[in-house]
Structure 1
Amino acid sequence: MNAETPVCQLLQRQDEAYRGWLWVAPPRDAWLEQGDGSVLSGDHGVLHAWQACGRPAFGAFEIPPVLPPGAVLFWPKTHALGEWWLLTLCKVLPEGTPLQIVGENNGGIKRVLKVLAALGLGCRKRDSARRCSLFETRLGPVDIDPDAVWQRFEIEGLTVVSHPGVFGHGKLDAGTQLLLSQLPGTLPETGESILDMGCGDGILAAWLARRGAWVTAVDVNAFAVEATRRTLTANALEGQVVAGDVYSSLAGHRYDAVVSNPPFHQERAIDYGPAGRLIGEAPEHLVPGGQLVIVANAFLPYPDRLQAAFGNFEILADDRRFRVYRAFKR
Structure 2
Amino acid sequence: MDLTSEVVMRQIDLLKGRVLFINAPTDDLLSQFTDDITASIWCWNFNDYQYFQSQQSKVHFGVEFPEGEFDQAVIFVPKSKELLNYLLHNVASHLSAGSSIFLVGEKKGGVERAAKQMQPYGKTLKIDSARHCQMWQTHLEKTITPKPLSEWVQQYTVDTPNGELTICALPGVFSQNRLDVGTATLLPYLSKVTSGKIADFGCGAGVISAYLAKLNPKNRIFAMDVDAFALTSTQMTFEQNQLEPEQLEIKAVTGIQDAPLFLHAIVSNPPFHQGIQTDYNASENLCKTSRRHLKSGGELWIVANRFLNYPTLIEQNFGQCTIKADQQGFKVLFASTQKNIKE
Length-normalised TM-score, structure 2: 0.88
Matches within 5 A, 1:226-237: 226-237=232-243
Say how many residue pairs are matched: 322
Structure 1 CA distance for aligned equivalents of residues 9 and 32 of structure 2: 13
Say which is worse superposed, 129-138 or 30-39, in terms of deviation: 30-39
Provide the residue aligned with 1:8 in structure 2.
5
Provide the residue aligned with 2:295 in structure 1.
287
Say which is worse superposed, 93-102 or 31-40, in terms of deviation: 31-40
Structure 1 CA distance for aligned equivalents of residues 272 and 198 of structure 2: 22
Matches within 5 A, 1:11-50: 11-16=8-13, 20-32=18-30, 37-50=39-52
CA shift for structure 1 position 66: 3.4
Indicate whether 1:224 and 2:221 are aligned: no
Structure 1 CA distance for aligned equivalents of residues 266 and 113 of structure 2: 40
Provide the residue aligned with 1:138 in structure 2.
139
Report the secondary structure of 1:183's partner residue: helix
Provide the residue aligned with 1:111 in structure 2.
113
Q: Match for 1:155: what amino acid?
A: V
Which residue, out of 153, 156, 161, partners 1:153? 156
Aligned 8 A contact 2:94 2:143 in 1? no
Structure 2 CA distance for aligned equivalents of residues 85 and 267 of structure 1: 15
Provide the residue aligned with 2:82 in structure 1.
80
Report the secondary structure of 1:37's partner residue: strand
CA shift for structure 1 position 304: 2.5
* Aligned-pair Cα RMSD in Å: 2.0
CA shift for structure 1 position 146: 6.1
Q: Deviations over 1:41-72 (max 9, x none)?
A: 11111111111111111123344343233211
- Flag structure 1 segments of 5+ consecutive residues without an equivalent: none
Structure 1 residues 162 and 65: CA distance shift in structure 2, 3 A: closer
CA shift for structure 1 position 111: 1.7
Q: Quote the sequence identity (%).
A: 32
Which residue, out of 305, 320, 324, partners 1:316? 324
Provide the residue aligned with 1:260 in structure 2.
268
Q: Deviations over 1:95-149 (max 9, x none)?
A: 32221101111222112343222x2421110101121110011233235726332
Structure 2 CA distance for aligned equivalents of residues 264 and 183 of structure 1: 22
Aligned 8 A contact 1:149 1:163 in 2? yes
Indicate whether 1:247 and 2:256 are aligned: yes
Q: Match for 1:176: what amino acid?
A: T
Structure 1 residues 283 and 28: CA distance shift in structure 2, 3 A: same
Structure 2 CA distance for aligned equivalents of residues 162 and 96 of structure 1: 33
Aligned 8 A contact 1:125 1:134 in 2? yes
Provide the residue aligned with 1:128 in structure 2.
129
Structure 2 CA distance for aligned equivalents of residues 15 and 146 of structure 1: 33
Q: Match for 2:168: what amino acid?
A: V
Report the secondary structure of 1:158's partner residue: strand
Aligned 8 A contact 1:161 1:228 in 2? yes
Aligned 8 A contact 1:33 1:50 in 2? no
Which residue, out of 59, 63, 66, partners 1:64? 66
Structure 2 CA distance for aligned equivalents of residues 65 and 114 of structure 1: 27
